[in-house]
Amino acid sequence: MQISKASDAVGAIVENVDVTRLDDRQFAAIRQAFFDHGALFFRDQKLTPEAHIAFAERWGAIDFNRFFKQREGYPEIAEVLKEPDQQLNIGGGWHTDHSYDAAPAMGSILYALEIPPSGGDTLFASMAATYEALDDAMKERIKDLKARHGNAHVFGEESAYRKAVGERYTNADQAGQTAIHPVVLHHPDTGAKGLYVNPGFTLEIVDMEAEESQALLQELYAHIMQDRFHHRHVWREGDLAMWDNRATWHHALNDYHGHRRYLNRITIEGVELG
Ligand code: SIN
Protein backbone atom coordinates (compact mmCIF):
# COMPACT_ATOMS: atom_id res chain seq x y z
CA MET A 1 0.00 0.00 0.00
CA GLN A 2 1.29 3.47 -0.91
CA ILE A 3 -0.10 6.79 0.29
CA SER A 4 0.91 9.99 -1.53
CA LYS A 5 -0.34 13.57 -1.46
CA ALA A 6 -3.05 14.39 -4.01
CA SER A 7 -2.20 18.11 -3.91
CA ASP A 8 -0.26 20.50 -1.69
CA ALA A 9 -3.37 21.56 0.22
CA VAL A 10 -5.67 18.57 0.60
CA GLY A 11 -6.15 14.88 -0.04
CA ALA A 12 -4.03 11.76 -0.49
CA ILE A 13 -4.14 8.91 -2.98
CA VAL A 14 -4.04 5.40 -1.55
CA GLU A 15 -2.80 2.80 -4.03
CA ASN A 16 -2.41 -0.95 -4.19
CA VAL A 17 -5.03 -1.71 -1.62
CA ASP A 18 -8.40 -3.43 -1.48
CA VAL A 19 -10.50 -1.70 1.19
CA THR A 20 -12.45 -4.91 1.81
CA ARG A 21 -9.29 -6.69 2.96
CA LEU A 22 -7.48 -4.22 5.21
CA ASP A 23 -5.70 -5.61 8.24
CA ASP A 24 -5.65 -3.55 11.43
CA ARG A 25 -2.20 -2.09 10.71
CA GLN A 26 -3.23 -0.94 7.23
CA PHE A 27 -6.48 0.48 8.56
CA ALA A 28 -4.60 2.44 11.23
CA ALA A 29 -2.30 3.93 8.55
CA ILE A 30 -5.29 4.87 6.42
CA ARG A 31 -7.05 6.44 9.39
CA GLN A 32 -3.97 8.51 10.17
CA ALA A 33 -3.71 9.60 6.52
CA PHE A 34 -7.38 10.59 6.57
CA PHE A 35 -6.77 12.98 9.46
CA ASP A 36 -3.45 14.21 8.03
CA HIS A 37 -4.84 15.00 4.56
CA GLY A 38 -8.60 15.53 5.01
CA ALA A 39 -9.59 13.31 2.07
CA LEU A 40 -8.52 9.97 0.60
CA PHE A 41 -8.92 8.57 -2.91
CA PHE A 42 -8.77 4.83 -3.63
CA ARG A 43 -8.78 3.54 -7.22
CA ASP A 44 -10.10 0.26 -8.63
CA GLN A 45 -12.32 -0.87 -5.77
CA LYS A 46 -14.93 -3.55 -6.37
CA LEU A 47 -17.56 -2.93 -3.74
CA THR A 48 -20.92 -4.57 -3.25
CA PRO A 49 -23.30 -2.47 -1.14
CA GLU A 50 -22.56 -4.86 1.75
CA ALA A 51 -18.80 -4.29 1.39
CA HIS A 52 -19.29 -0.52 1.20
CA ILE A 53 -21.33 -0.66 4.43
CA ALA A 54 -18.78 -2.95 6.12
CA PHE A 55 -15.91 -0.57 5.23
CA ALA A 56 -17.92 2.42 6.51
CA GLU A 57 -18.68 0.65 9.79
CA ARG A 58 -14.95 0.36 10.51
CA TRP A 59 -14.94 4.18 10.87
CA GLY A 60 -17.91 4.48 13.20
CA ALA A 61 -21.67 4.29 13.32
CA ILE A 62 -23.48 5.12 10.09
CA ASP A 63 -25.29 8.46 9.97
CA PHE A 64 -28.42 7.70 7.93
CA ASN A 65 -29.02 10.61 5.56
CA ARG A 66 -32.69 11.59 5.76
CA PHE A 67 -32.89 13.68 2.59
CA PHE A 68 -31.20 11.72 -0.20
CA LYS A 69 -33.06 8.89 -1.87
CA GLN A 70 -31.80 5.62 -0.43
CA ARG A 71 -30.48 2.78 -2.49
CA GLU A 72 -33.27 0.23 -2.58
CA GLY A 73 -32.80 -2.31 0.21
CA TYR A 74 -29.92 -0.33 1.76
CA PRO A 75 -31.08 2.56 3.97
CA GLU A 76 -27.43 3.17 4.92
CA ILE A 77 -26.62 4.20 1.33
CA ALA A 78 -27.63 7.57 -0.15
CA GLU A 79 -27.82 7.77 -3.92
CA VAL A 80 -25.91 10.59 -5.63
CA LEU A 81 -27.47 10.44 -9.07
CA LYS A 82 -27.94 12.57 -12.15
CA GLU A 83 -29.75 11.11 -15.17
CA PRO A 84 -29.03 12.23 -18.76
CA ASP A 85 -32.25 14.24 -18.92
CA GLN A 86 -31.71 16.07 -15.62
CA GLN A 87 -30.20 19.53 -15.33
CA LEU A 88 -29.30 19.88 -11.64
CA ASN A 89 -26.85 17.63 -9.87
CA ILE A 90 -26.58 16.86 -6.17
CA GLY A 91 -23.81 18.69 -4.31
CA GLY A 92 -23.25 21.14 -7.17
CA GLY A 93 -21.89 23.96 -5.03
CA TRP A 94 -19.25 24.29 -2.33
CA HIS A 95 -20.45 22.75 0.94
CA THR A 96 -19.64 20.30 3.69
CA ASP A 97 -22.10 17.52 4.48
CA HIS A 98 -24.57 17.78 7.37
CA SER A 99 -23.27 21.03 8.93
CA TYR A 100 -26.92 21.73 9.81
CA ASP A 101 -26.81 18.90 12.38
CA ALA A 102 -25.84 19.45 16.03
CA ALA A 103 -23.26 16.67 15.60
CA PRO A 104 -22.35 16.86 11.89
CA ALA A 105 -21.30 13.69 10.09
CA MET A 106 -17.59 13.18 10.58
CA GLY A 107 -16.98 11.73 7.15
CA SER A 108 -18.54 10.73 3.86
CA ILE A 109 -17.55 7.69 1.78
CA LEU A 110 -18.51 7.95 -1.89
CA TYR A 111 -18.24 5.07 -4.35
CA ALA A 112 -18.38 5.63 -8.11
CA LEU A 113 -20.60 3.23 -10.09
CA GLU A 114 -21.19 5.20 -13.31
CA ILE A 115 -19.10 8.16 -14.42
CA PRO A 116 -19.67 10.29 -17.53
CA PRO A 117 -17.10 10.09 -20.35
CA SER A 118 -15.78 13.49 -19.32
CA GLY A 119 -16.62 16.00 -16.59
CA GLY A 120 -18.30 15.38 -13.25
CA ASP A 121 -15.10 15.97 -11.28
CA THR A 122 -15.28 16.87 -7.61
CA LEU A 123 -13.28 19.71 -6.04
CA PHE A 124 -12.05 19.56 -2.45
CA ALA A 125 -10.74 22.39 -0.27
CA SER A 126 -8.77 22.26 2.98
CA MET A 127 -10.25 24.12 5.94
CA ALA A 128 -7.02 23.94 7.96
CA ALA A 129 -4.89 25.37 5.11
CA THR A 130 -7.39 28.16 4.50
CA TYR A 131 -7.49 29.02 8.20
CA GLU A 132 -3.70 29.05 8.49
CA ALA A 133 -3.41 31.38 5.45
CA LEU A 134 -5.67 34.05 6.98
CA ASP A 135 -3.91 37.16 8.24
CA ASP A 136 -3.65 37.73 11.97
CA ALA A 137 -6.32 40.45 11.96
CA MET A 138 -8.90 38.09 10.44
CA LYS A 139 -7.91 35.27 12.80
CA GLU A 140 -8.45 37.65 15.72
CA ARG A 141 -11.77 38.90 14.30
CA ILE A 142 -13.32 35.44 13.88
CA LYS A 143 -11.77 33.56 16.79
CA ASP A 144 -14.83 33.59 19.09
CA LEU A 145 -17.60 33.84 16.50
CA LYS A 146 -20.32 31.27 15.99
CA ALA A 147 -22.43 30.62 12.90
CA ARG A 148 -25.91 29.24 12.40
CA HIS A 149 -26.34 26.47 9.81
CA GLY A 150 -29.62 25.21 8.33
CA ASN A 151 -31.09 23.09 5.55
CA ALA A 152 -34.64 24.29 4.75
CA HIS A 153 -33.42 26.33 1.76
CA VAL A 154 -31.95 23.11 0.28
CA PHE A 155 -34.14 20.22 1.40
CA GLY A 156 -37.34 21.93 2.63
CA GLU A 157 -40.82 22.00 1.11
CA GLU A 158 -40.36 25.51 -0.30
CA SER A 159 -36.89 25.00 -1.75
CA ALA A 160 -36.85 25.61 -5.51
CA TYR A 161 -33.67 23.55 -5.69
CA ARG A 162 -35.35 20.55 -4.00
CA LYS A 163 -38.30 20.84 -6.36
CA ALA A 164 -35.94 20.86 -9.34
CA VAL A 165 -33.97 17.86 -8.03
CA GLY A 166 -37.28 16.02 -7.76
CA GLU A 167 -37.57 12.52 -6.35
CA ARG A 168 -33.83 12.25 -5.74
CA TYR A 169 -34.50 14.12 -2.46
CA THR A 170 -36.98 12.89 0.16
CA ASN A 171 -38.51 13.86 3.52
CA ALA A 172 -38.88 17.58 2.80
CA ASP A 173 -41.12 17.77 5.88
CA GLN A 174 -38.14 16.82 8.07
CA ALA A 175 -36.03 19.79 6.93
CA GLY A 176 -35.81 23.00 8.91
CA GLN A 177 -33.58 22.30 11.88
CA THR A 178 -30.63 24.59 12.49
CA ALA A 179 -27.41 24.20 14.46
CA ILE A 180 -24.83 26.63 15.82
CA HIS A 181 -21.12 25.83 15.48
CA PRO A 182 -17.91 27.80 15.99
CA VAL A 183 -16.61 29.62 12.90
CA VAL A 184 -13.15 28.31 13.81
CA LEU A 185 -13.33 24.76 15.05
CA HIS A 186 -10.78 22.73 16.90
CA HIS A 187 -10.82 19.49 14.98
CA PRO A 188 -12.20 16.80 17.34
CA ASP A 189 -9.57 14.22 16.33
CA THR A 190 -6.47 16.29 15.54
CA GLY A 191 -7.00 19.52 17.50
CA ALA A 192 -6.05 21.50 14.36
CA LYS A 193 -7.85 24.79 13.85
CA GLY A 194 -9.97 25.09 10.70
CA LEU A 195 -12.71 27.24 9.22
CA TYR A 196 -16.21 25.83 9.64
CA VAL A 197 -18.62 27.90 7.55
CA ASN A 198 -19.80 26.94 4.06
CA PRO A 199 -21.95 28.46 1.29
CA GLY A 200 -24.26 25.45 1.16
CA PHE A 201 -25.64 25.47 4.67
CA THR A 202 -24.31 28.41 6.73
CA LEU A 203 -27.10 30.95 7.25
CA GLU A 204 -25.49 33.72 9.30
CA ILE A 205 -22.94 34.69 11.90
CA VAL A 206 -24.69 34.68 15.26
CA ASP A 207 -25.15 38.06 17.03
CA MET A 208 -24.02 40.09 14.02
CA GLU A 209 -26.01 42.46 11.80
CA ALA A 210 -27.20 40.72 8.64
CA GLU A 211 -25.18 42.90 6.28
CA GLU A 212 -21.94 42.53 8.22
CA SER A 213 -22.55 38.79 8.62
CA GLN A 214 -23.03 38.29 4.89
CA ALA A 215 -20.01 40.45 4.06
CA LEU A 216 -17.81 38.46 6.44
CA LEU A 217 -19.05 35.11 5.13
CA GLN A 218 -18.49 36.21 1.53
CA GLU A 219 -14.95 37.35 2.40
CA LEU A 220 -14.16 33.98 3.97
CA TYR A 221 -15.73 32.10 1.03
CA ALA A 222 -13.72 34.10 -1.52
CA HIS A 223 -10.57 33.24 0.43
CA ILE A 224 -11.41 29.52 0.53
CA MET A 225 -12.34 29.43 -3.17
CA GLN A 226 -8.76 30.15 -4.25
CA ASP A 227 -7.40 27.28 -6.34
CA ARG A 228 -4.26 26.98 -4.22
CA PHE A 229 -6.32 25.38 -1.43
CA HIS A 230 -7.97 22.77 -3.68
CA HIS A 231 -7.65 19.32 -5.16
CA ARG A 232 -9.66 18.24 -8.20
CA HIS A 233 -10.62 14.57 -8.24
CA VAL A 234 -11.19 13.18 -11.74
CA TRP A 235 -13.41 10.14 -11.20
CA ARG A 236 -13.10 6.69 -12.67
CA GLU A 237 -15.64 3.93 -12.09
CA GLY A 238 -14.54 1.92 -9.07
CA ASP A 239 -13.10 4.97 -7.28
CA LEU A 240 -13.82 5.32 -3.60
CA ALA A 241 -13.35 8.80 -2.14
CA MET A 242 -13.77 9.70 1.49
CA TRP A 243 -13.50 13.07 3.16
CA ASP A 244 -13.56 14.59 6.60
CA ASN A 245 -16.52 16.96 6.80
CA ARG A 246 -14.86 18.88 9.66
CA ALA A 247 -11.70 19.52 7.62
CA THR A 248 -12.83 20.02 4.01
CA TRP A 249 -15.37 21.47 1.63
CA HIS A 250 -16.33 19.75 -1.63
CA HIS A 251 -18.11 20.74 -4.84
CA ALA A 252 -19.44 18.29 -7.47
CA LEU A 253 -19.07 19.94 -10.89
CA ASN A 254 -22.15 19.85 -13.10
CA ASP A 255 -20.59 19.91 -16.58
CA TYR A 256 -21.74 16.60 -18.13
CA HIS A 257 -25.31 17.19 -19.30
CA GLY A 258 -26.75 14.33 -21.31
CA HIS A 259 -24.80 11.67 -19.39
CA ARG A 260 -25.56 9.57 -16.33
CA ARG A 261 -23.48 9.90 -13.16
CA TYR A 262 -24.27 7.52 -10.29
CA LEU A 263 -22.45 7.15 -6.98
CA ASN A 264 -23.33 5.70 -3.59
CA ARG A 265 -22.58 7.65 -0.42
CA ILE A 266 -22.42 6.60 3.20
CA THR A 267 -21.92 9.16 5.97
CA ILE A 268 -20.38 8.38 9.36
CA GLU A 269 -21.65 9.87 12.59
CA GLY A 270 -19.70 12.73 14.13
CA VAL A 271 -19.62 14.60 17.42
CA GLU A 272 -20.59 18.08 18.59
CA LEU A 273 -17.97 20.62 17.53
CA GLY A 274 -16.05 22.97 19.81
C1 SIN B 1 -21.75 15.16 -2.43
O2 SIN B 1 -21.87 16.37 -2.28
O3 SIN B 1 -21.73 14.38 -1.48
C4 SIN B 1 -21.60 14.59 -3.82
C5 SIN B 1 -20.21 14.71 -4.32
C6 SIN B 1 -20.07 14.20 -5.72
O7 SIN B 1 -21.07 13.81 -6.35
O8 SIN B 1 -18.95 14.16 -6.22
Question: Does 163 score more than 90 pLDDT?
Answer: no
The number of the ligand 1 atom at minimal distance from the alpha carbon of 263 is 7
CA distance 52 to 126: 25
Q: Specify whether 101 is catalytic.
A: no
Q: Which of 95, 98, 181, 187 is catalytic?
A: 95
In-domain check, residue 112 = yes
User: Please, where are the H alpha helices in the chain?
Assistant: 24-37, 49-57, 127-132, 136-142, 152-155, 160-165, 210-224
Catalytic residue among 97, 101, 239, 244: 97
**pLDDT digits over 47-91, tens only?**
999 999 999 999 999 999 889 999 999 999 999 999 999 999 999
Residue 165 has pLDDT above 90, yes or no: no
Active site residue 265: yes
CB-CB contact of 117 with 255 (8 Å): no
Which region among 104-118, 151-165, 169-183 has the lowest average model confidence (pLDDT)?
Answer: 151-165
Question: What's the 239 CA to ligand 1 centre distance in angstroms?
Answer: 13
Please check whether residue 78 lies inside any domain of the structure: yes
- pLDDT tens, residue by residue, 188-197: 999 999 999 9
Cα distance between residue 140 and residue 134, in whole Å: 10
Distance 124 CA to ligand 1 centre (A): 10
Do the domain assignments include residue 59? yes
- Number of Cβ within 10 Å of residue 56's Cβ equals 24
Residue range 231-248: mean pLDDT, rounded: 98
Decide if 190 is inside a domain: yes
Torsional class of 133: left (φ above 0), alpha (ψ -120 to 50), beta (otherwise): alpha
Output the domain CATH number for residue 104.
Answer: 3.60.130.10
Q: What residues have CB less than 8 Å from 27, skipping those under 6 apart? A: 58
Tell me, what amino acid is at 90? I
The answer to whether residue 250 is catalytic is yes
* Structural domain contains residue 99: yes
Q: Nearest-CA neighbor of 224 among 204, 250, 244, 205?
A: 250
Return the higher-pLDDT residue of 154 and 127. Answer: 127
Query: pLDDT, tens digit, for every residue of 88-130?
Result: 999 999 999 999 999 999 999 999 999 999 999 999 999 999 9
Task: Count how many domains the chain has.
Answer: 1
Taking CB atoms and a 6 Å cutoff, what residues make up the pocket around ligand 1? Answer: 80, 90-91, 97, 108, 110, 122, 250, 252, 263, 265
Q: Is residue 274 domain-resident?
A: no
Question: Is residue 142 in some structural domain?
Answer: yes
Task: Give 135 Cα–ligand 1 centroid separation in angstroms.
Answer: 31
Pocket test for ligand 1, best of 77, 90, 113 (most atoms within 8 A of CB): 90
* pLDDT band (50, 70, 90) for residue 164: confident
Torsion of CA 39, 199, 130, 220, to 10 degrees: 180
Q: Across residues 218-246, what is the average pLDDT? A: 98
Q: pLDDT at residue 37 above 90? A: yes
State the residue range of the domain holding 231.
2-268
- In the chain, the percentage of residues whose pLDDT exceeds 70 is 100
| Phi/psi at 198 (5° precision) | -150, 150
